[in-house]
Amino acid sequence: MFFRNSIGFFCVLALCVTLGCKGASGPAPTTPEDVAAAPADSLKVASGLSFKVLKEGTGKDHPTRDSEVTVHYSGWTTDGELFDSSVQRGEPATFPLGGVIAGWTEGVQLMVVGEKRRFWIPESLAYQGQPGAPAGMLVFDIELLSFK
């Protein structure tokens, strides 16, 4: 789950429980070897967000915080626990970029269509200790499929 507030988080969580999202389609994505911490060759921006380009994109334009994006993603805690994955569900997710956690909003704006990145999102840009949400630094593999 990547929504920035607990209402969005719990609404999507309730939807996933109702529809059986966790483990619904395919096998879980492989946990990255570098999930515990951003490696030395990752790039880090002033906010503390770190990332690595896993696959170059083909687009030239970048989404803005006002864009609606369609992505495939998987998210892990630093101990390697997969907590959410559109890849596993077999269906991309579409949502307003300004309605997600700050690390997603900032990071996805750096991407172009077709690009896949791994992000290490510090807790200050994630859920900031919200009860029921994943805690600490989170790691996401995100592929930007489209935006409008």
| Structural domains of the chain, with CATH | 6-147 (3.10.50.40)
pTM > 0.75: yes or no: yes
Could you write out the DSSP letters of every residue in 24-61? SSSPPPPPPTTTTS--TTSEE-TTS-EEEEEE--S---
Confidence of residue 2 (pLDDT cuts 50, 70, 90): low
Which residue do the tokens 């719990």 mark? Answer: 10
Among 136, 127, 107, smallest CA distance to 47 is for 107
pLDDT, greater one: 13 or 143: 143
pLDDT of residue 35: 97
pLDDT at residue 23 greater than cutoff 90: no
Rg (CA), the chain: 14
pLDDT of residue 24: 55
Q: Is the Cβ–Cβ distance between 99 and 44 less than 8 Å?
A: no
pLDDT at residue 4 greater than cutoff 90: no
Would you say the C-alpha torsion 68, 76, 124, 57 has a positive or negative sign? negative
Mean pLDDT, all residues of the chain: 88
Provide the residue type at 66 as one letter. D
Q: How far apart are CA 84 and CA 36, in angstroms?
A: 17
pLDDT at residue 113 greater than cutoff 50: yes
Instruction: Give the side-chain half-sphere CA count within 13 A for 110.
Output: 20
Q: Mind listing the pLDDT tens digit for each residue in 52-94?
A: 999 999 989 999 999 999 999 999 999 999 999 999 999 999 9
